[in-house]
Amino acid sequence: MSDILPTRQINVGIIGCGNIFPAYAKGCSLFRKLNLKACADLSPDAAGARATEFQIAALTIEELLADPGIDLVINLTIPAVHAKVSRDVLNAGKHVYSEKPLSIDLQEGQDLIALAASKNLLIGCAPDTFLGAGLQTSRKLIDDGWIGKPIGGTAFMLASGPESWHPNPAFFYQRGAGPMLDMGPYYVTALVHLLGPVSAVSAMTSKSRTERLATCKEHFGRMLPVEVPTHYSGSLLFESGAIVNMAISFDVVAHTHKPIEIYGTQGSLSVPDPNTFGGPVSLHRAGQAEWSEIPLAFGYHENSRSIGAADMAHAIDSGRPHRCDGRLALHALEVMTAFEESFNKRAWVEIKNACDQPRAFPLGLPPGILDD
């Protein structure tokens, strides 16, 4: 196994020490290619607490960006400043991996991709859940022809909104968030992983209320202004010819839909929740009487945040493409923003920002290593 061990570790710094930080910090320890060295936040107290918790250095943002020992920065700031922080990281000469979405503005996202290319740096973006066991197993079944040629599918993220449980729910109803930019990245990215790039979007959107009542304990009784649509429904036309009907909503009390189903000429595939790394994966082939649950054939079925950054770290040294590429995130962002554009124009929208279908993992990779 010695010939596949990483030749060196990539030193990592994290900007943003909020709720998602522990998942990424713990995830870094899963991968031999990553060495989490430092963290930074606008709040020195928050950075200090995370540094103590994970036995790393607490720096100011300026110190972290200036540190020549840090190769890759993971950007865990709020979505409204994702683009600005990623731009600062690239201008500091470091590779950057951002939480989703890449940006809340399509042009800003395009500018980031161009900036990274001009500096010969890599830019990556969550979600990386499609690199987990559930979606990799689903991809393997499709690629190996178990459902024949994919011709269509469905994707549903239907919920009643986060105001009953999230400690800071107001953000979810502000411009740059909403159900589409918050949860849509998981679904769109998973679909591109399974079926390839999207060609066009035809959609409608709605906003059921102008205010939402917070019932979480932290903001109980507070009225939250709603700036964005809260229900999105549309169809995605893929370059392969497959058509997927998709609905993303914070207006649904209850439903019985599976997260994702893919339909092919020889069978159907039930794909797990793309906000998770595990299963279940179920297959129904033509001629079968019932669905069959398929054993997961890949690793990383538990929470493995940072797997996308680890894959990018391998790419930094090897020069191969990385799977959570910024172009994939930009493609997903254009698909998501196309829902409102399509509704406003009363016309379908062609997707212009191209991306490659991410390369599937090979079977049998050792734990903690992402190159074969």
Tens of pLDDT along 246-263? 999 999 999 999 999 999
Specify the pairing of strand 34-40 against strand 10-15. parallel
220, 106: one domain: no
Q: Please give the structure tokens belonging to residue 255.
A: 């439903």
- Is residue 127 over pLDDT 60? yes
Q: Please give the structure tokens belonging to residue 277.
A: 């790394």
244, 257: one domain: yes
**Cα angle 319, 317, 47; round to 5:** 125
226, 249: one domain: yes
Q: What's the pLDDT score for residue 372?
A: 62
Query: Would you say 221 and 214 are in contact if contact means Cβ atoms under 8 Å apart?
Result: yes
Q: Share the mean pLDDT of the chain.
A: 95
- The average pLDDT across 88-99 equals 98
Phi, psi at 286, each rounded to 5°: -55, 130
Q: Report residue 80 CA to chain centroid gap.
A: 16
pLDDT band at 335 (very low <50, low <70, confident <90, very high): very high
Bridge partners (DSSP) of residue 203 are: 234
148, 289: one domain: yes
Which of 272, 294, 316 lies at the terminal end of a domain, its last residue?
294
- The average pLDDT across 357-371 equals 92
Containing domain of residue 145, as a range?
132-294
Q: What's the pLDDT score for residue 371?
A: 81
165, 279: one domain: yes
**What proportion of the chain, given as a percentage, has pLDDT over 90?**
92
Per-residue pLDDT of 287-305, as tens digits, reads: 999 999 999 999 999 999 9
Does 203 map to a domain?
yes
State the CATH number of the domain containing residue 166: 3.30.360.10
- Is residue 6 over pLDDT 70? no
AA identity, residue 24: Y
101 preceded by cis ω (within 30°)? Answer: yes
pLDDT band at 8 (very low <50, low <70, confident <90, very high): confident
33, 142: one domain: no
Does 170 map to a domain?
yes
269, 313: one domain: no
Does 347 map to a domain?
no
199, 167: one domain: yes
228, 280: one domain: yes
If DSSP codes are grouped into helix, strand and coil, which group holds residue 81?
Answer: helix
Does 171 map to a domain?
yes
Per-residue pLDDT of 28-60, as tens digits, reads: 999 999 999 999 999 999 999 999 999 999 999
Q: Please give the tally of structural domains in the chain.
A: 2
- Residues 303 and 276: their CA atoms lie apart, in Å, by 7
Does 372 map to a domain?
no
Nearest CA to 310 among 124, 120, 54, 134?
Answer: 124
